Structure formats: structure tokens, C-alpha cells
């Protein structure tokens, strides 16, 4: 985040938390859209969370304006006293070895290891938003004969922008993880059917369930903001990243990593937009932005 943008984000955060203004009101004051306000403010807070956790404020609360307002004084004190000049991508160095190490840590520390590993790998291989993952059904992943739908469809009602698009389960590691989780569900008779189709699971049941075997609940963000959110799944992902040992990581970082890796394979911006459900080229470009690295890092060990 550039210094000028960071200073504006601090000012906007103050207006939101200390003066009770809405994203729209703050946007009007700065001549930008409410979604830009929300994005820049949350980027500031995630940057702060990577530097040092905000005392008494769980990472998941960063996604909730109402929760942030309950900790307004603590949050603003932390923002104003922090040195946020050096911003880096917490997943910039995520290679094969670190991914496998993170998965091992999750399996060791999680009480719902099969599901949590499957959630993480699904996020990494699809680039889907948490809300979209919460809406996935067993029949989106499996065909009736029990085989995997390598190329599936995210229905309009499930996609965050209401536009149907393709979603791909074309990663053996991801499919193995989801299969292990579904086998566990079948063993525990959670959301099963009376037939052998779909491996004995209820086809319209949610692909991923809570610890209690229930779908992740989707609700409005607040009484004044009808946009849907899934706070329990966001909290679950925060726990998954924490157990993986990836401090300061959120689902947007993973979505950016997905975009950059697919672009690295030759995808153009239109293809990335189709994969991620984005209609704006600017939104795609934002995901592909990389922080400049020091020249010394760039030339080190070239030969």
C-alpha cells in the first residue's frame, strides 16, 4: 500500500469507527466508491495484523465493521502507533515445501483436520470466495456415479456476483483431500442419502459443513447492509491459516495467489476474470499487482 493511500485509509477508518459514518458516506467525502473505501480500510487492517495482532481483536473481526466499532479505541491506537511502511505479501514465498508443511501442521493441530485441509486446498485450487465455497453442494463436486466433476459450474445463485461460471476441481491433491473428508462424513452418517448415488451422500447438501454437521450459515452483514456474508466460515479459514502457521494471511491473499499463479501459466485478464467471476479488468489487474522487491533480491543467485 502506497504512503498516500495508507494515510487516506487511516483517515477513512477513523471516520468509520470514531465518527460512525458508513462506507458510502466516507466514500462521498473522499470522492471514491464505498467498495473502494471498504477494500482500502481492510487492506490497512490486514497489513497491521501481519505486523502484530491487534490486542483483543481476532483476525476474523476485521471483516466486520460492527465488530471493529466495538474495539474502535484499541484499533485506532494500534493503527496510529504502528510502523506500516514495509508491506509484503505473506504468501509470496509459498512454495511446494511450505504448502505441505502447512497441511501437516493443520492435520496435527485441527480437531476437524480432513475438512480443514480440504477447505484450504479448495480455496487454493479454485480461487473461489468464502461465500461461494459455503454455497457449494455435494452435487457440484460429484457426479451421480461418484466420479469427480473436474469441470463443474458455480450456479448464479451461488456465485457472489450472481453470474454462473465454471469452477474446476482439477487438482489431485485437492480431490484427495475432499474425498477423505467426504469419506469421513459417510462414516459418521452426516448428510447421507438412502441410495448409492453420489457416494451415498445427499446431493444438495453443502459440500463443507460445520463441526456440528450443519451448513455454514449465511446472513446479511448488518441491519443496514444486506450484502451476504458467512462469518463462521471466515472464522474457520482464519483458524486454518493460523494452524498452518501462515500469520496474517486471509482469503483474499489466497485469491491473489491463485490469480498470479494462473497468470504465470499464461492466462490473460479475460480468462482470469472468467475464473474468478470478475467483470472489471481493473479488479483483475489489482489481484495481479506485486509489491516491488529490492534490486538486491532480484539479482541474487541468478547463476
Burial of 51 (0-12, 13-18, 19+ CB in 10 A): middle
* Domain span at 273: 91-293
Q: What is the DSSP letter of 242?
A: H
Do both 52 and 114 map to the same domain?
A: no
Give percent of the chain with pLDDT exceeding 70: 89
Q: Give the position of cell 448464479.
A: 156
Do both 114 and 181 map to the same domain?
A: yes
CATH number of 280's domain: 1.10.443.10
Do both 171 and 109 map to the same domain?
A: yes
Do both 137 and 61 map to the same domain?
A: no
Do both 39 and 100 map to the same domain?
A: no
Do both 227 and 104 map to the same domain?
A: yes
Supply the mean pLDDT for the chain.
87
Residues 6+ apart with CB under 8 A from 299: none
Q: What is the CA radius of gyration of the chain?
A: 20
| Number of domains composing the chain | 2
Do both 192 and 109 map to the same domain?
A: yes
What pLDDT does 50 receive? 66
Torsion, Cα of 14, 17, 21, 26 (10° steps): 40
* 142: β partners: 148
Minimum mean pLDDT range among 66-75, 115-124, 142-151, 169-178: 66-75
Do both 57 and 152 map to the same domain?
A: no
Do both 103 and 251 map to the same domain?
A: yes
Do both 149 and 227 map to the same domain?
A: yes
Q: Provide mean pLDDT across the span 157-175.
A: 88
What pLDDT does 62 receive? 73
Amino acid at each position: 500500500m502506497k504512503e498516500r493511500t495508507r494515510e487516506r485509509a487511516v483517515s477513512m477508518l477513523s471516520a468509520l469507527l470514531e465518527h460512525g459514518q458508513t462506507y458510502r458516506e466516507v466514500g462521498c467525502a473522499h470522492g471514491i466508491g464505498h467498495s473502494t473505501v471498504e477494500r482500502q480500510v481492510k487492506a490497512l487492517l490486514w497489513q497491521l495484523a501481519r505486523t502484530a495482532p491487534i490486542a483483543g481483536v481476532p483476525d476474523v473481526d476485521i471483516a466486520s465493521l460492527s465488530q471493529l466499532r466495538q474495539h474502535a479505541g484499541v484499533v485506532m491506537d494500534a493503527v496510529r502507533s504502528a510502523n506500516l511502511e514495509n508491506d509484503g505479501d505473506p504468501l509470496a514465498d509459498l512454495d511446494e515445501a511450505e504448502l505441505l508443511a502447512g497441511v501437516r501442521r493443520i492435520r496435527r493441530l485441527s480437531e476437524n483436520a480432513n475438512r480443514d485441509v480440504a477447505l484450504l486446498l479448495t480455496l487454493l485450487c479454485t480461487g473461489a470466495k468464502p461465500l461461494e465455497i459455503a454455497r457449494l453442494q455435494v452435487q457440484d463436486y460429484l457426479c451421480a456415479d461418484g466420479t469427480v466433476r473436474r469441470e463443474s459450474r458455480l450456479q448464479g445463485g451461488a456465485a457472489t456476483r450472481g453470474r454462473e461460471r465454471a469452477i474446476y476441481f482439477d487438482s489431485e491433491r485437492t480431490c484427495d483431500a475432499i474425498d477423505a473428508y467426504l469419506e469421513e462424513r459417510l462414516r459418521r452418517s452426516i448428510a447421507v442419502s438412502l441410495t448409492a448415488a453420489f457416494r451415498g451422500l445427499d446431493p444438495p447438501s453443502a459440500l463443507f459443513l460445520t463441526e456440528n454437521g450443519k451448513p455454514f450459515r449465511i446472513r446479511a452483514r448488518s441491519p443496514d447492509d444486506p450484502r451476504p456474508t458467512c462469518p463462521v466460515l471466515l472464522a474457520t479459514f482464519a483458524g486454518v491459516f493460523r494452524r498452518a502457521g501462515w500469520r496474517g494471511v486471509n482469503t483474499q491473499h489466497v485469491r491473489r495467489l491463485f490469480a498470479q499463479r494462473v497468470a504465470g501459466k499464461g492466462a490473460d485478464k479475460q480468462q482470469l476474470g472468467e475464473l474468478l467471476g470478475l467483470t472489471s479488468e481493473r479488479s483483475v489487474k489489482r489481484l495481479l499487482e506485486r509489491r516491488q522487491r529490492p534490486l538486491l533480491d532480484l539479482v541474487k543467485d541468478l547463476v
